[in-house]
Every structure is written in C-alpha cells, then in structure tokens.
C-alpha cells in the first residue's frame, strides 16, 4: 500500500474542482458506494479524477490526502457562509457576501481560502450539507475533520454514501442509511412505475391517435356527403333547365311554323288572283251549260210527244 505521506506535484485550483466532481460522483452511487472500504472508495475517486483531469496522474493516497485538506477548509468556509447568509442585509449580492466570508475565514485560519471552485461544486449537494450539519456548532470550527470509510458508512436519505466525518470533541453521528437490498427494491419499484407510466402514456397516445383518426374520417365522410348532395342538386337544376329550354324551343318552333303557314297563304293569294277569277267564271259557264242542256232536253221531249200523238190518231182515222 502506498504511504499516506507520499507527496506529488502541487495541486491547481482546477484540479481541486475536478477532485470535488469525482468525489461527489462516487458518493452519489447508491449501489457500489455502500459498504466498501476506504481504499476501494478512493481508488474509484482517483480513477474518475485521472480520467477527466488531464494533468498529472494521482494515486489514491494523493487523492485521499488532498480531499481531506479540501473538505476541511470547505466545511469551515461553509459554516461561515451559513452564519453570514442568515444575517445578510437586504440587497446584498453574492459577490459581497463571498468577500465577507473570505475575510472572516482569513481572520480565523490565518490564511486565504483557495478552494472556492471545489466548494462551489459540492456546496448544494445533500452529502456536503449533511457533513456541515454533523460537524457541530460554530464553536467547533477549530476541530480537525478526518475522512474515514467503514463498511457501514452512513449516507443521506435516498443516497448511499461512503464518507463520514469524525470531529474531535464532537459526539454527533449519522443515522443508519437504507441497506443495499432496500435501495435495489426501491429502484425496482421506481423502474416498474416508470414502465407503468410509459405503458399508460402509450395507450393514451394510441387512444388519442385513434380518436383523431375517427374524427378525421367523419369529417371526410361529411364532406363527401355534402359534395354528393351538391352534385345531385346541381344535376336536378340542370335537368329542370333543359326541360324548360326544350319547352321553349318547341313553342318557338310552333310559332314559327304558324307564321310560315300564314305567310305562305298570303303569298299565294297575292301571286294568283286571275286564276281565282277564272275559276269563278268557269263555274258560271258550267252552270249556264247545264241550264241550256236541260232546256233542250225538255223541248226534245215535247216534240216526241207530239209526233207520237199524231201517229196514234192517224190509224184510227183511217
């Protein structure tokens, strides 16, 4: 095992920031972080740090020692921050507040606070807030918190953490967190609920789609029915117009025929008036001839009667 006193290259503020990110990431793992030893925990932190830092590679002991320093200073700074924030005058901005916190930190510790970037990463996390609460009251700020890991490391509710702070002169302790099986069961229930919600959402979406499709179909049918009704009305109107047109044409044709016949008769009368008179004369002549013929026939009959009478008398006389 590497010595805990092993020193490496000086740490930069950006490296402290990445160290805080890696520490927070590993502590927020609710499955793997529960019940592991200190060495295993910081090996995972070091592995994550070296993956993203992009600077000098650090082993787990260097990471552990550096985080102990960063955490100690950040907890003190956070305690001052909480105290001053509660008494912050109205209208004071965060920049003014941080300036006052740094000033008081320097007065208490005799040095500057150089871990602002790391503190900004972890200050709002549940784990770091729990560390602040368990650190004790403000009169215990001079104690030396030492990071330690045990198989039964406590954590914040809903998370399984791996660190605990042991403060000299502090009797505070953590409540035992949920076990691994409880966490896994909660995760299974959450997964089941998520699947159930997804199924219900999909069904609701399908029902909505079917409803929209039915509405669209009904709209199309209504449009088709209206179009058919309009077509029938148009056809009926056209048929009525055709019938009226046919009647009108027939009436016009009859009137034209009558006018043509009347015109023809008038033309005939004006064109052959002599023939009409000649026909009347012929009729009169025929009547005269009939009269004459009747008269001749009458005379002839009388003559014959006289002759016969003479012939009849003569034989008697003789």
Closest CA to 4 of 57, 64, 46: 64
> Is residue 8 situated within a structural domain?
no
* Domain-terminating residue out of 222, 246, 270: 246
Q: Exposed/middle/buried for 104, CB within 10 Å: 0-12, 13-18, 19+?
A: middle
Distance, CA of 118 to CA of 18 (rounded, Å): 8
| Tokens linked to 315 | 């034989």
> Is residue 266 situated within a structural domain?
no
Distance, CA of 77 to CA of 102 (rounded, Å): 8
With DSSP H G I counted as helix, E B as strand and the rest as coil, what are the percentages for the chain, rounded to 5? 75, 0, 25
Are 26 and 160 within one domain?
yes
pLDDT tens, position by position, for the chain (318 residues)? 444 445 567 899 999 999 999 999 998 877 665 667 889 999 999 999 999 988 889 999 999 999 999 999 999 999 988 888 877 777 777 777 888 889 999 999 999 999 999 999 999 888 888 888 887 544 444 443 434 333 334 443 333 333 433 333 333 333 445 556 677 777 778 888 888 898 888 888 888 888 888 888 888 989 998 888 888 888 888 888 888 889 888 889 998 898 888 888 888 777 655 555 555 566 666 666 666 666 555 555 555 545 544 444 444 444
How many domains would you assign to the chain? Answer: 2
Are 87 and 193 within one domain?
no
Are 87 and 183 within one domain?
no
Contacts made by residues 127-132, CB under 8 angstroms, sequence distance 24+: 127/24, 127/27, 127/28, 127/155, 127/156, 127/159, 127/161, 127/163, 128/24, 128/74, 128/78, 129/156, 130/156, 130/161, 130/174, 131/71, 131/75, 131/163, 131/165, 132/75, 132/78, 132/79, 132/82
Please tell me the predicted confidence (pLDDT) of residue 70.
95
> Is residue 135 situated within a structural domain?
yes
Please tell me the predicted confidence (pLDDT) of residue 304.
52
Are 196 and 86 within one domain?
no
Q: 38-66 burial string, b = 16+ CB within 10 Å, else e?
A: beebbbbbbebbbeebeeeebebbbbbbb
Are 91 and 220 within one domain?
no
Q: Exposed/middle/buried for 289, CB within 10 Å: 0-12, 13-18, 19+?
A: exposed
Are 92 and 143 within one domain?
yes
Look-up: residue for tokens 């925990």?
Answer: 41
Are 192 and 59 within one domain?
no
Provide the residue range defining the domain that includes 215.
Answer: 179-246
* Domain-terminating residue out of 224, 246, 268: 246
Are 75 and 168 within one domain?
yes
Please tell me the predicted confidence (pLDDT) of residue 280.
59
Are 88 and 198 within one domain?
no
> Is residue 73 situated within a structural domain?
yes
Are 115 and 216 within one domain?
no
Are 121 and 144 within one domain?
yes
* Domain-terminating residue out of 158, 177, 196: 177
> Is residue 262 situated within a structural domain?
no
- DSSP type of residue 147: E
β-sheet bridge partners, residue 147? 165
- DSSP type of residue 134: H
β-sheet bridge partners, residue 166? 146
> Is residue 159 situated within a structural domain?
yes
Are 85 and 211 within one domain?
no
Measure Cα distances from 314 to 79, 303, 304, 307, 310 in Å: 199, 17, 16, 11, 6
Please tell me the predicted confidence (pLDDT) of residue 295.
59
> Is residue 269 situated within a structural domain?
no
> Is residue 272 situated within a structural domain?
no
Closest CA to 82 of 133, 152, 139: 133
């Amino acid at each position: 095992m590497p010595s805990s006193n092993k020193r490496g290259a000086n740490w930069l503020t950006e490296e402290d920031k990445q160290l805080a990110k890696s520490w927070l990431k590993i502590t927020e793992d609710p499955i793997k972080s529960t019940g592991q030893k200190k060495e295993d925990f910081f090996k995972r932190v070091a592995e994550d740090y070296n993956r993203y830092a992009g600077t000098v590679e650090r082993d787990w002991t260097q990471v552990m020692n550096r985080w102990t320093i960063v955490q100690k200073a950040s907890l003190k700074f956070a305690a001052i921050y909480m105290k001053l924030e509660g008494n912050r005058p109205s209208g004071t901005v965060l920049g003014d507040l941080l300036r006052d916190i740094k000033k008081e930190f320097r007065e208490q510790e005799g040095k500057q606070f150089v871990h602002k970037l790391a503190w900004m990463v972890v200050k709002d996390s549940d784990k770091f807030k729990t560390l602040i609460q368990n650190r004790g009251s403000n009169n215990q700020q001079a104690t030396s918190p030492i990071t330690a890991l045990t198989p039964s490391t406590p954590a914040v509710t809903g998370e399984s953490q791996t660190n605990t702070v042991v403060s000299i002169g502090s009797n505070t302790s953590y409540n035992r967190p949920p076990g691994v099986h409880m966490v896994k069961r909660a995760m299974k229930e959450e997964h089941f609920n998520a699947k159930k919600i997804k199924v219900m959402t999909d069904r609701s979406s399908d029902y909505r789609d079917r409803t929209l499709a039915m509405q669209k179909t009904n709209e199309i049918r209504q449009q088709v029915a209206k179009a058919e009704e309009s077509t029938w009305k148009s056809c009926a109107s056209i048929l009525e117009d055709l019938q009226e047109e046919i009647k009108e044409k027939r009436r016009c044709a009859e009137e034209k025929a009558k006018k043509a016949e009347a015109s023809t008769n008038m033309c005939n009368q004006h064109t052959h008036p002599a023939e009409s008179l000649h026909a009347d004369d012929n009729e009169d002549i025929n009547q005269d001839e009939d009269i004459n013929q009747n008269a001749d026939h009458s005379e002839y009959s009388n003559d014959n009667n006289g002759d016969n009478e003479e012939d009849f008398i003569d034989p008697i006389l003789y």
